[in-house]
Amino acid sequence: MIKVEIFSEDLADIKLVNEYWGQDEDGKFIVKTSNLLPFKDIKTLPKLLDYILSISKAWNDKYSCPSCGEPFLCTSRTDSQSSFKHHRDCKECEIRKKDALLQRKQKEQLLLQQRIATRIEHNAKIRYDYSKIPVHIKLLLIGLSKALTSSSISNGFKVDECTELAPTGKEIFAIIKKLIAEGVIIDSPSKANSNAYVLNDDKSLSYYYYYVTYVFVPDKAGTPISDTIRLLRQRRITPCDKIYQVWLDIATSDCMAYFEMQNSHHGLEIHEDDYQKINNLIRTSLEKYSMSEVWSIIWRIVRDAAALSTRSYYNKDKASKTLLGKLQRLLDLILKNEASTMPWNRSQGSSVSILSQFFYELFEIDEYTPAEQVKLIFSKKDQIEDFSETHSKSMYILQQAVEYNIEKDVLNSFADLIRKGETIDATLDFIMHNYSLG
Ligand SMILES: [Zn+2]
């Protein structure tokens, strides 16, 4: 129902306003607007409406602002019926809300800048003891440094500068995360665009891995990072199980890159839910077959799935979903000697990643190296590594025992524990701890 308030006391004016807004029981306007003309010296409808609005106000009590509850003023008959106003705020509320939003954003921006400033201060103090860097992290770090220019090593880099590091973006991402977790690289807020950082719901700071700039964490000893990297490169990388695990990761991603390339030739795609399972199967296969053999396995299953996709009752999506099952079945057949593998060449257009190349330089492992040989390379040296660790531990204990004049006690304890069936390593650890020699 339209309600009016008239500011004029002229009876003609009052009649005009009432006739303009007057409705019957069904809500239909009673007098046609054209019948209201001419009015005084007004001869057109727009002018008449201007005049009505200048001497009165009208509102439809059906429609009011959802925020403040004030009814909307009607500017014309059409306007008075317009139901879209149901869901809209009045102008005052709109402005009020916009202002509040702006203020909140400014406040958040300020808080974000404060958090970034705190992080800059915090990160600047972080150091890493490169003399104790684990061997697999050292390998990854050297690989990363090979992917970067000397300027990026000293001044910072982004993930997209490391595209040659590993065969797939996923693997590069995983490596960056590992290096961050170990504390050898860190984000540098002062070097990144501010849009790389965001506030979480709990107002803590987080950043986008791809947009942020990373730097190598300075050495605890104060050596410039370029020298630290140079020194790390000179140190020997001892093969061990941790390095084998890195090799498996890189080889797996080399196979997954091949998989994706073959799929794209045929318009197929590994189903999201199957990706990790396929990745795990490939990783396990690399413990039995060389990379080039695994490529041939992949080639076969993609070829079969592609053939399937052309059948009338199949499509690319359905065929893509068969890849996991086909891989499992073929691997089972090969295991039972009912199918064979054959070495496959690296496909054209697929370059050797920096880490794959690094494995060749360090251990002469490439895509043709049989899985058993790869295992041997890492396990043989494993024993030497274990031995050398045990050896240096016992040397240290003996030196300390002599220094503190407790060699007799230490040797007695050693003999005692060995007699009780303890291993050499556990015994040495116990002695270190018990005599506070660590
Ligand atoms: Zn309002």
pLDDT in tens, 249-298: 999 999 999 999 999 999 999 999 999 999 999 999 999 999 999 999 99
Q: Ligand 1 centroid vs 97 CA: distance in angstroms?
A: 10
Q: What is the pLDDT of residue 86?
A: 62
Q: What is the pLDDT of residue 83?
A: 67
Q: Ligand 1 centroid vs 88 CA: distance in angstroms?
A: 9
Q: What is the pLDDT of residue 384?
A: 47
Q: State mean pLDDT over 145-157.
A: 94
Q: Ligand 1 centroid vs 222 CA: distance in angstroms?
A: 63
C-beta separation of 250 from 171 below 8 A: yes
Q: State mean pLDDT over 99-121.
A: 95
Q: Ligand 1 centroid vs 14 CA: distance in angstroms?
A: 29
Q: Ligand 1 centroid vs 105 CA: distance in angstroms?
A: 22
Q: Ligand 1 centroid vs 70 CA: distance in angstroms?
A: 6
Nearest by Cα to 425 from 402, 392, 376 = 392
Q: Ligand 1 centroid vs 148 CA: distance in angstroms?
A: 58
| 71: number of Cβ within 10 Å | 16
Q: Ligand 1 centroid vs 138 CA: distance in angstroms?
A: 63
Q: What is the pLDDT of residue 158?
A: 95
Looking at the predicted structure, is the pLDDT value of residue 80 above 90?
no
Q: Ligand 1 centroid vs 64 CA: distance in angstroms?
A: 8
Q: Ligand 1 centroid vs 5 CA: distance in angstroms?
A: 20
Q: What is the pLDDT of residue 383?
A: 47
Q: Ligand 1 centroid vs 98 CA: distance in angstroms?
A: 13
Question: Is the model more confident about 232 or about 346?
Answer: 232
Looking at the predicted structure, is the pLDDT value of residue 85 above 80?
no
Q: Is 69 left (phi over 0), alpha (psi -120 to 50) or beta?
A: left
Residues 6+ apart with CB under 8 A from 199: 108, 111, 112, 115, 205, 206
Q: Is 234 left (phi over 0), alpha (psi -120 to 50) or beta?
A: alpha
Q: What is the pLDDT of residue 312?
A: 83
Q: Ligand 1 centroid vs 96 CA: distance in angstroms?
A: 9
Looking at the predicted structure, is the pLDDT value of residue 350 above 90?
no
Using pLDDT thresholds of 50, 70 and 90, give the confidence band for residue 380. Answer: low
Q: Ligand 1 centroid vs 56 CA: distance in angstroms?
A: 21
Q: How far apart (Å, rounded) are the C-alpha atoms in residues 193 and 86?
A: 42
Using pLDDT thresholds of 50, 70 and 90, give the confidence band for residue 302. Answer: very high
Question: Is the model more confident about 249 or about 406?
Answer: 249
Element at 151 (helix H, strand E) = helix 150-155
Q: Ligand 1 centroid vs 67 CA: distance in angstroms?
A: 5
Q: Ligand 1 centroid vs 95 CA: distance in angstroms?
A: 9
Q: Ligand 1 centroid vs 26 CA: distance in angstroms?
A: 28
Q: What is the pLDDT of residue 306?
A: 93
Q: How far apart (Å, rounded) are the C-alpha atoms in residues 130 and 219?
A: 6
Using pLDDT thresholds of 50, 70 and 90, give the confidence band for residue 231. Answer: confident
Question: Is the model more confident about 107 or about 310?
Answer: 107
Question: Is the model more confident about 224 or about 404?
Answer: 224
Q: Where are the domains of the chain?
A: 2-89, 100-234, 241-369, 384-434
The alpha-helical segments, DSSP class H, found in 364-423 are: 371-403, 407-419
Average pLDDT, the chain: 90
